[in-house]
Amino acid sequence: MSNCKQRIQIQTDHELDIPIEIIDLVIKELIASTSRCYTPLSDIASLCLVSKAVYSLSGPHLLQKVVFKFVHASGDKTGEHLEKLLRDDPWLASHVKEVVFSITDFNGIARMDLAAKKSTVDDSQHSQAFGRLFPNIESLHIIRNKNQHYDHYAYEYESRACRIILQNLSFYHHQLTSLHVANFVINIETVLQLPRLQHLSSESGTWVTVTDPYRESAYTPVVWNRTILTIPPHCVSLLQTVSVRDDDTFPLSMIPFLLGLRSIECYLKRFAVKWEEAIVNIRTCADSSSSPVQPAVPVSYNTLESVEGNDTACDLLHVLSQRAAAVGLPAFPALHSLSLERQSHQINPGPGRPCIYNLVDHMPSLRIMRFNGFSAYLSLSFQGSCR
């Protein structure tokens, strides 16, 4: 028994008699083995208890993604401990690439806003601002707890919370490239002001615009054929991927003008868009000093490589291909992957609904096709038209 205790004492209090290069290699191999069936982070966390060398080498891998939960006052203090750890170890904080905000209580967000305002006034507080914790953040997730009571104040609370988070982080870090928002009210103008945004994802959200710039709570949901939306010049070329799920207020009418778009995911419940009315409400400008003007709809989308979605994705592609069809050119010359899923509640689509295989002529580079829930005849017809 004494030998066993001594052996445990040696493992926990002394460094492993293994070259640090070997430890580093083991950690990297574990990270490389990450898959859908196996996530090595828990095993790496266990190894941290064995040696300080393991801890120092694995810490950056363990904290590439961090989650902050804004819960009620009686909730756990995990977020506070994590924040303290990152403040005390800036080197460790520099490895954080992805931050998740899981929000139940909006008071925590208000406190963050107050701290940010103090930091802009008092230089001594500047280094303590929450946004400065993550000097190399690239991806941000903002998620509302579904169990929260949803009342008529949600627009004000949630859109303000979203604005506070984005402004607090983007004030210090202009390299934020990816944003995912779920079950939340989002101000589209605030999102489009992110200077390097490349990947935008929204799930079960409500997109709003400011109706009165002098009243913070004056929001209204986006209406495609009535809301006038100005796309900043950097978004036209930088935004590469758009993912929309169960989010019928997302301004799809801006998609035709995103010339750098590479991937679209479109899982909407409906596609009731008066497209001709919607796109005339889009504005762009050549640079930040120019006045917004109504842009021309492009003929082809030369960078689009992948499309995934349900029936509404077919409708979107049909709309995007109209100008190309009129001049006899392919609308999606670089598209190589198409994955479509039939909506279960739309068993008998109307005769005017565009068929999938009518779009094939616009996809000369198509290599991968996936269908789920479509009839065998439709699949065979589609494949036959590809030959």
The model's confidence at residue 117, banded by pLDDT at 50, 70 and 90, is low
Average pLDDT of the segment spanning 335-341: 91
The model's confidence at residue 314, banded by pLDDT at 50, 70 and 90, is confident
pLDDT of amino acid 66? 86
On the question of pLDDT at 136 being above 90, the answer is: no
pLDDT of amino acid 22? 83
pLDDT tens string 258-284 = 989 999 999 987 776 677 777 777 888
On the question of pLDDT at 130 being above 60, the answer is: yes
pLDDT above 70: percentage of residues in the chain: 68
pLDDT above 90: percentage of residues in the chain: 14
On the question of pLDDT at 5 being above 50, the answer is: no
pLDDT of amino acid 363? 93
| 84 vs 352, residue with greater confidence | 84
The model's confidence at residue 1, banded by pLDDT at 50, 70 and 90, is very low
pLDDT of amino acid 156? 65
Average pLDDT, the chain: 75
On the question of pLDDT at 195 being above 80, the answer is: yes
| 284 vs 347, residue with greater confidence | 284
| 122 vs 89, residue with greater confidence | 89
Average pLDDT of the segment spanning 182-208: 87
Question: Which residue has tokens 């280094």?
Answer: 127
Nearest of 123, 148, 124, 6 to residue 72 by alpha carbon: 148
Average pLDDT of the segment spanning 76-81: 68
User: Would the pTM count as exceeding 0.75?
Assistant: yes
The model's confidence at residue 365, banded by pLDDT at 50, 70 and 90, is very high
- Tokens standing for 293? 């003007």
Q: Which stretch of 31-40, 156-165, 306-315, 378-387 has the lowest confidence by average pLDDT?
A: 378-387
pLDDT of amino acid 269? 79
Average pLDDT of the segment spanning 78-91: 80
Q: Which stretch of 175-184, 198-207, 216-225, 281-290 has the lowest confidence by average pLDDT?
A: 216-225
pLDDT of amino acid 366? 92
pLDDT of amino acid 376? 45
